[in-house]
Amino acid sequence: MNLLRLAASFLLLIAWGNVQATERVAPRSDATVELDSLRPGVWIHTSYYTYPNGSRFSSNGLVVRDGNGLTLVDTAWGERLTVELLDLIQKELRLPVRRAIVTHAHGDRTAGADVLRDRGIPVLAHPRTIDLTMESGLSPPSDSLSGVSHVGGSVTLGAVEVFYPGPGHSPENLMVWVPGAKVLFGGCAVRPGDATTLGNTAHANRSEWPLAIERATKRYADVQVVVPGHGAVGGPELLRHTLTLLPR
């Protein structure tokens, strides 16, 4: 990565990856990346990004088993942490990552895309995510998912379904459903249970966000586990809680 792109990526990590203090989670140790089981064949990865002022924040993603390989949902929060995540996956799960899905064009979702591409792992995203990352200087995903380019669109990739509920936290935020485990990765469109604000709204669509949550709620009525982009895992109450924070 050249110096200009590195500087752009750093500024975007600060501007786009900013989260509220309510999302700060104390790690169990000094680890910067953690991998924990959610359901059989589904793991949550959590990376901890440290800002220059010393503040430390967490960011969630998923790892889903698909046959003899894995699907990664979102990178860790930066290139170095993504390297650590891949090493941890290899050590703990001993299966190869076959594909990655990034859920929108913010640094906490895509900043490790270069690492994945260098290792031959395709990085899939909403077509708009590719445009936004290229415009901003972040490393773009390698492949677009044309099936999610319209509101309500979905694509099945092995053990997961990728769904575009409509604009919310960002213009193109995706959600990922694991039907075999009843797990929904809501990403940054879903707020954790202790959140009292919407977090980073730099690229949010406040008027459409409630509609996106309602579409996801209706589509995944049998969801049991909901994973927000930041903060603690919960159940369908996280979708309801997010609605209470949004203008109606």
Q: Which residues are catalytic?
A: 104, 106, 108, 169, 200
Q: Which segments within 54-171 are labelled E, that is strand? A: 56-66, 69-73, 97-101, 123-125, 143-144, 154-157, 160-163
Judging by beta carbons within 10 Å of its beta carbon (0-12, 13-18, 19+), is residue 217 exposed, middle or buried? Answer: middle
What's the CA gap between 151 and 128, in Å, rounded? 12
Q: Which residues lie across from 149 on neighbouring strands?
A: none
CB 155 within 8 A of CB 167: no
- In angstroms, how far apart are the furthest CA atoms of the chain? 47
**What is the signed CA dihedral for 96, 97, 99, 101, rounded to 10 degrees?**
170
Judging by beta carbons within 10 Å of its beta carbon (0-12, 13-18, 19+), is residue 117 exposed, middle or buried? Answer: middle
- Residue 128 burial (CB count, 10 A): 19
Which ranges of the chain does DSSP label H, i.e. alpha helix? 3-16, 79-92, 107-110, 113-118, 127-136, 209-219, 237-244
